[in-house]
Structures are given as C-alpha cells and as structure tokens.
Structure 1
C-alpha cells in the first residue's frame, strides 16, 4: 500500500503508547495519517510522542482511560474540535496480563476491571466515535482481539473472556452499523514480541529460543509490524468488502497440532 494512502485521514489508536498499539501508530503515520494516540499511561504517551516525532510523523497524544465514559466523551469532543471527523478507530487498549491465579483465589473486582477496559472500553469508544466516523468517506473500526479468544492457558479467565467478547462485539457492531456505513473487523494476534516497543522503564531486549520459534510454522515469533500492516489494509477502502471478520495473525501457531 502506498505510503501516502492515509494522507488527510485521521486515525485514533487506543492503547497506542506501547506495544502493538505503538507499532500501529508508527505505521499509520508513515502512511500519511494524522494519528491520535490515547493511553492512560502518560509517561508512555510522552515517550511515544518523542519517538514518533523524531521521525517527523504527525501524531497527537491525549490521555484517556477508555473504561471511563466521561473520559471517552471528552476525547471525542477534542477530536471533533481538531479534526471534525475520524476515518478509523482502532480499539487496541487493554489489560494485557492474562493470568489471574486460581479461580477460588481470584478477586472478582480484578475480573471486572479487565472486562471494563478490554470490552467495555471498545464499546464506549465505538459509541462516542460514531458521529465522527459517519463524517468520513470510508469509515472503519478495528478491534484488536487475541488468539486467547479461541484457546486458553490455565487461570486466564478475564483476559480470555474479554477477548472472546470482543470477537462477538465485532460482528455485532458490523451488523448494527451497516446503515452508518461503518465497517467493523478484528485482528487476533498470537505471540507478538513487544520488548522493544515498551516505554523505557519496561523495555527489554528480546530473546527467543529455537523451541519458541519452532512453535510457529513460519519459524519466528511475531512483531508489532506484522499486526500494523494488516491493520493498514483492513482500515482502508481496499478492504471495502470485508466486515464482521476476524483475522488471526499468529505465524500459524493455532493451526499446528501439538501432542503433550
């Protein structure tokens, strides 16, 4: 896709200050988009701005907790004032740590918190972004799910449930927003290495064993750019006949049969 395709288009990426979100923010901006990053980690947001502006990319950071309705409303009001429309909403913000411990020891409040960010957040963002999206020529919503929506390790109740719900929300929104001309799709990433895409305090140099790589039929662990390239396509009018779908990007890991 041409690196000028998104010129004069605005793209909002929630949870865009680190990891996959930051990778997508960089790629959309490289393709010409005016990128708005929102994140509840102000330190990470400031570092993300520095990183992207060093590349002379157009990016704006607005702090926001997507689980809080008032904050989401205020975010969209700011975008209305600055841009007047929104071409794409990428719902990426989420509590990423999937492990919650034994079921009997799990705090229900912790379960609720994960769902409030990972599932309620995308719904709120879609609700309040809709008037802005309807002003765009080819509006799109992209939800970042996870292969954990379809498979689990032990004690990943909240994360798996939230991502499974996000998959269902994707097709529900796609059907519901037909008259609004908004396409809605999802990407379900597998193992994506984000060590080099974290804020400085959390950054680390990745190391993967040959066994780690061999779990993937493509022979390596994923990187944020793998997700970003697919996001660029799905949010464009090149994907105009695609809606209500989920694309698994995991290097083939979920289709590989493994015997214990």
Structure 2
C-alpha cells in the first residue's frame, strides 16, 4: 500500500497501538500529525518521527485539541487524508465498574474519555472534508468488550457502553456521509499489552485466562504491532469501497470461551 502524498491525524498516537500505527504509516510514506496527552510520550514521539510528523500535546476531550491538529496538518502538509482516533482510557479510577457499583462520575468521565472525544475529532475532520469538498477516511478505536463481554475480569460497564456506542456512532455517520465518499470504520481490539491495559497485563489470572480466550499464535496478549495491517487497510486511499465496518483484531477472543482455573 502506497501512502505517498497522504497526511493523517492520529489522536492518541504517541504511545501503545496509536504509536505503532503511526510508525507503520510513516514507514510507508505518510505525513503525520500525532496527538498525545502527556509530555513524556510526546517527547518520545518527537524523537521517533523527526521531520515526518508534527507532535502535539493535548487532551482529546477538549475540542480545541483536534482544531490545533487540523490547523497543523494544513499548515505543514497542506492536506488531510484521514483520521485515526485511538485516544481513550479506563474510567476505573473515577468509579467505572459493575453497574451496582458504578458512580455517576465514573459513568460521565468514562463516556467523556471514550465517546465524547471521538465525537469531537470526527466532527472536526468531517467538517474539514466537507469544506474542502474532498473524500477522506476515519478509523475509530472500539473494543471487543463493546460486543463480547468478559464478566469476571472486565466488568467496567461504562467502558463497554462507550465502546459499543462508538460502533453505532461510526456506522451512522458512515451511512450519512457515504455519498460524499467519506469512509468511517472501527477497529475492535481485545487485550493488548498497552499502557492502558497495565492492570490486566500484570495480573497472572487474567494473563492465564487470555491464553485460552485469545488462542491465536500460541495464546497471548496482543502486541501493538498486531493492529498495523488492519489500520493500513482501512486508512489506505485504495480502500475506497469499504465503510461502516467493524473489524475485531482479537486473537480469537470473540469466538472463544476462555477457561478459568
């Protein structure tokens, strides 16, 4: 796939799966505007990308952040080909959990992190495509938990609601803007070794469970690089006949029982 003369905005692209995807796009010739929330990851990304990317520190739940990213893409690269929205996070520390324990703060904060942020970035990029009268592509990060729950180890009901809502939201806007040749799709990964999944990835019982819940490739947690080919497929300008789709990159999670000790 050739990404020459393309430019992508990656919200949440300075660590984990977002960073991996950004590096894969860079390797194939894409120009990038990469947005991260914390100073340390942004500094790391700046060193990684050099002159092939603009790195911006900002909060994806603040609409001004995506506006800054769009302005940077226009000023530096002159165009925007697409958006990959990865930014999100766990709401456990705010009170997300099983419904009988779920706090209103946990509900609101989790939806803000994982759903409102998607709405803000998608709206801003859609407006850019409409203003320029150009086609484009959007890829949103969902989760296998939006469609395939795992009640013993992953009972965060606000997070599941947000990730499920991303699917409905993405399909709806994909349908509405298809006549404009604006494509919108969703990736739904399972348990990956990322900064957000540190709790699960260091829990022996969850890692053991994942070996049977994600049986592909010997049974393991996903690596960030495992999503790269799917990202490239959906973001490629050549994938002009694919929209409104949800792809689970889950090692078999959604079709496996998973065994407890």
After TM superposition, the score normalised by the length of structure 2 is 0.84
Match of 1:69 in 2: 63
Q: 8 Å contact 1:118–1:163 — kept in the other structure? A: yes
Q: Which residue of structure 2 lines up, in the alignment, with residue 23 of structure 1?
A: 20
1:107-150 CA distance string (max 9 Å, x none): 31232122112111111111111243454865110011000101
SS at match of 2:221: coil
Report the alpha carbon displacement of residue 63 of structure 1 after superposing the two structures with TM: 1.6
Superposition deviation, residue 174 in structure 1: 0.3
1:118 aligns with 2:114: yes
Structure-1 residue corresponding to 2:29: 32
Q: Which runs of 5+ in 1 are unaligned?
A: none
* Secondary structure of 2:140 counterpart: strand
1:142 aligns with 2:139: yes
Alpha-carbon separation, structure 2, partners of 1:6 and 1:206: 39
CA contact (8 A) 2:98 2:157 kept: no
Alpha carbons of 1:238 and 1:130: their partners in 2 closer, same or farther (altered >3 Å)? same
Q: What's the secondary structure of 1:81's corresponding residue?
A: helix
Distance 1:181 1:255, change over 3 A: same
Aligned length: 249
Runs (5+) with no aligned partner, structure 2: none
Q: Which moved more, 1:230-239 or 1:240-249?
A: 230-239
Residue 158 of structure 2 corresponds to which residue in structure 1? 158
- The aligned residue for residue 177 of structure 2 is 177
State whether structure 2 residue 242 is matched by structure 1 residue 246.
no
Mapped contact 1:133–1:139 kept (Cα < 8 A)? yes
How far apart, in 1, do the equivalents of 2:243 and 2:212 lie?
Answer: 33
Write out the 4+ residue segments of structure 1 that deviate beyond 4 Å after TM superposition: 134-138, 204-211
1:78 CA drift (Å): 2.8
Gap change, CA 1:101 and 1:246, over 3 Å in 2:
closer
Residues 155, 24 of structure 1: alpha-carbon distance in 2 compared, 3 angstrom cutoff: same
**Separation of aligned partners in 1, 2:58 and 2:133:** 23
Would the aligned equivalents of 1:138 and 1:236 in 2 still touch at CA under 8 Å? no
| Separation (CA, whole Å) in 2 of partners of 1:214 and 1:229 | 24
Query: Which residue of 214, 217, 222 maps to 1:216?
Result: 214
Structure 2 counterpart of 1:88: 82
TM-score (norm 1): 0.84
How large is the RMSD of aligned CA atoms in angstroms? 2.9
Of 74-83 and 38-47, deviating more is 74-83
Is the contact made by 1:64 and 1:75 (CA closer than 8 Å) also made in structure 2? no
